[in-house]
Amino acid sequence: MTEYSRMAKGKFTSTGGAQIINLPFQPDYVEFTNYTASAAFTDHRVLSAQWDVNMGQGFAITQVKNTTYQTDSVILNGVSTFSAGLLLQFGARQQVVSSTKADPASFEVTGHGFTSGDVVMFQGLYSTQFTAGMPQMDGIPFTVTVTDANNFTVPWNSNQSNYTALAASPSGAFVKKVLYPYLYAPGVSFISAITTGTTTTIDTTDAHNYVVGQEIAIRMPDVVGNTPVAAWGDARYNSLPNNSTPGSPVYAYVIAVTDYNTFVCNINSTGYAAYNSNIAVANVPGLSYPQVVAVGDVNTGGVQLSSGSALYPPPYVSPIGTTRVNSINGPAIQGAYFNNTSQGFIIGAGLNVTDTAAVLVGANGNVIYWRAFLHDMSLPS
């Protein structure tokens, strides 16, 4: 039957790590072919594979080149499906071993397993409980840049007087991965730095997902705890309140996008007070953070049609570097946000049971063609 069945196909270039495929459904059958491995036909390569939901999550049946062409199976880190849900989901907590005062801030977490572009949150970053450490960074989503298997950096300046480096795995200091960080895009971004001038450059802690023409508003807290002070920066950035015209917020426009966490807006901040993230540890309880949010009616939620473009281009996010990830949406009306709740399937980097040198997702640079199906009827055995 095909009345309610869903089918999708595509291709990707493997990085050697798990590949996430976003779809508007969770498939119950997946098949794929490694075109590069099939053309080279060298040993210890998965040439093609199939997965059925009845096998269980993380399994796959594979066709492998190992001296001869033979079948094999994967029983761990194979093909699996996922659904992000409506709220943030997190990976397991991992102990923070140490941190280094630097810009960007650097952290040591043994065998963290992160990939550059992953989003994480910290908790309990105290070297001395409630008096010293880096708790100013707790509870904020950060995009990581991996430096090695045990270390990574995040876009925040911790090389300041009110920050103390962590050492010797302090009790209660943890980091956890945000599994699906961009449930709504562009989302709400935390500000890590501001460069003033005739135009204003803003750095965020994770991907802002803005495009040129985006209308934005800035939330610049003017209190620390219960004390009214200019804690983070100049209050003139703040979109509310507008004392001259109450109820009329001050907005700005994105005029250039530098990278995944840096953009330029048309605010003339000449003469504004410098941005300040050197907040005292004693002021962390109850601390509000500066944020930038999308407003208005222009963003990636309505990708324009142009010559050679897809007929119904989906809105997308750009989590790091030049990476572009399509959402599960079809054509979208332009608006401040679009729903990016993710679902689909993952081809993992599991190894075959017999040929343990053959990686399911293939080697870095391999081109893989896939097809996914959701059948409207599954008959009992």
pLDDT 10s digits, 324-333: 777 777 667 6
Q: Cα separation of 170 and 99, whole Å?
A: 10
Q: How far apart are CA 349 and CA 18, in angstroms?
A: 5
Rounded to an integer, what distance in angstroms lies between the CA atom of residue 141 and that of residue 255?
A: 25
Residues 294-310 have pLDDT tens digits of: 987 767 666 666 777 66
Q: Tell me which of 2.40.50.100, 3.20.20.450, 2.40.30.20, 3.30.160.620 is the CATH number of domain 94-178.
A: 2.40.30.20
CB within 8 Å of 314: residues ≥ 6 apart: 303, 326, 327, 328, 329, 330, 331, 332
Same fold, 94-178 and 185-300: yes
Task: Please give the pLDDT value at position 228.
Answer: 46
Q: What is the pLDDT of residues 252-283, one digit of tens each?
A: 999 999 999 999 999 999 999 999 999 999 88
Contact 166, 133 (CB under 8 A): yes
d(CA 162, CA 142) in angstroms, rounded, equals 20
- pLDDT, tens digit (0-9, with 9 covering 90-100), for 33-42: 999 999 998 8
CATH number for the domain formed by residue range(s) 185-300: 2.40.30
For residue 279, what are the CA distances in angstroms to 250, 272, 285, 294, 299?
26, 19, 11, 26, 33
pTM of this prediction?
Answer: 0.83
Spell out the domain ranges in the chain: 6-84+343-374, 94-178, 185-300
- CB atoms under 10 Å from CB of 378, counted, come to 11
Here the tokens at position 218 are 């800035």
Q: How far is CA 50 from the centre of its chain?
A: 28
How far, in Å, are 230, 247, 251, 312 from residue 242 at the CA level?
16, 7, 11, 40
